[in-house]
Amino acid sequence: MWEQRTNDAMAKARGWLRELPLNGEGPVFHLLRLFALTVIDGEAGPDLDHDAALPRLGEAIPDFDPRGVSLDPVLVLVTYRALRARGFEHPSLKSLVHSYGSALSSDSADVDDELALVARLCRLCGVDAPDPGATAARALQSPAGLMAGDRAETLETCRLMLMISACGTRRMDLGDVPSLLPGLSLSYAMEWDMEAATTLLRACAYAGVANEACSQWAWEWVLDQQREDGRFGLLAPETVKMGRDPADWRAYLGPTVSAAWCLAEMKRPGLLVAPD
């Protein structure tokens, strides 16, 4: 329904992300940008100099001690895979990715369902890791907090869906959770909660309910949150209320990454684990 508008929005977000002044920033900021650019180009299509631009941006990631930094493994693995496919391997990322594979392989022959996405991404990165299989043994229960609209439980349920189903590519028993997701996504959109709304929309995509009316309305709301320069998120009065400078790009990086990932998954669920 929103395909062309979504493509245009992701292209604008790509332009904003490319121009971020990340000199002197830590690895997290660089990885967030590269992750968002990767999901945008995976779905909206690369621009003409994408293959040259991504490694150049990867080279700007400062070296770090993998043992002293807490990073989201999905963020790390998706970014590492994209850079590696273009002939660049950041030494710190490479060390961290191989440590994930070693940890998975040393635990047991079977992969814990909650680590299924990490295991699949490791294998796509060329790292030895157990095969998580096509079907999850673990069923997803609908917690009372989800039905009551508890934000923390809602986000945790969505996280479990992401990790266990490997972005919707593994079969799993979701119980009655899918029936609740579209309405919740719209509810959080009406509360101007970008993180929760986009997380729930991704869960809708994984559960096969992205075409429900409430999901579509929430999708439109996300598109409406884009600013003219391509970033998504907070309005100036909200940033001031939070004690942030409205001109500070850091206030918009998280919402823009969340929106880009959500829009890409709404168009093509499972793109993070799609074969090369």
**Tens-digit pLDDT profile for residues 7-38:** 999 999 999 999 998 888 999 999 999 999 99
pLDDT band at 66 (very low <50, low <70, confident <90, very high): confident
Q: Provide mean pLDDT across the span 113-124.
A: 95
Of the chain, the percentage scoring pLDDT greater than 90 comes to: 68
Structure tokens at 37: 């650019």
Is the Cβ–Cβ distance between 126 and 84 less than 8 Å?
A: yes
Region 243-267: what's the mean pLDDT? 88
Query: Does 93 score more than 70 pLDDT?
Result: yes
The arithmetic mean of pLDDT across residues 90-100, rounded, is 95
Angle 158-274-90 from CA coordinates, rounded to 5°: 90
Does the pLDDT of residue 242 top 80, yes or no? no
pLDDT, mean of residues 84-107? 91
pLDDT at 69: 79
When pLDDT is cut at 50, 70 and 90, the band that residue 51 belongs to is low
Distance CA 63, CA 218 (A): 39
- Rounded CA-CA distance 12/249 in Å is 15
Q: What is the pLDDT of residue 33?
A: 95
User: Who's near 63: CB < 8 A, 6+ residues apart?
Assistant: 91, 92
Where do the domains of the chain lie? 3-176+225-273
Q: Which residues contact 27 (CB under 8 A, 6 or more apart)?
A: 61, 62, 64, 69, 71, 92
pLDDT greater at residue 42 or residue 41: 41
Which whole-number Å values give the CA distances from 234 to 242, 244, 259, in the listed order?
10, 10, 12
Sign of CA pseudo-dihedral 130, 101, 88, 32: positive
Phi, psi of 60 (to 5 degrees): -80, -10
Q: What is the pLDDT of residue 238?
A: 59
Confidence of residue 224 (pLDDT cuts 50, 70, 90): very high
Which position has the higher pLDDT, 108 or 182? 182
Helix (H, G, I), strand (E, B) or coil at 75: helix
Query: Mean pLDDT throughout 93-100?
Result: 94
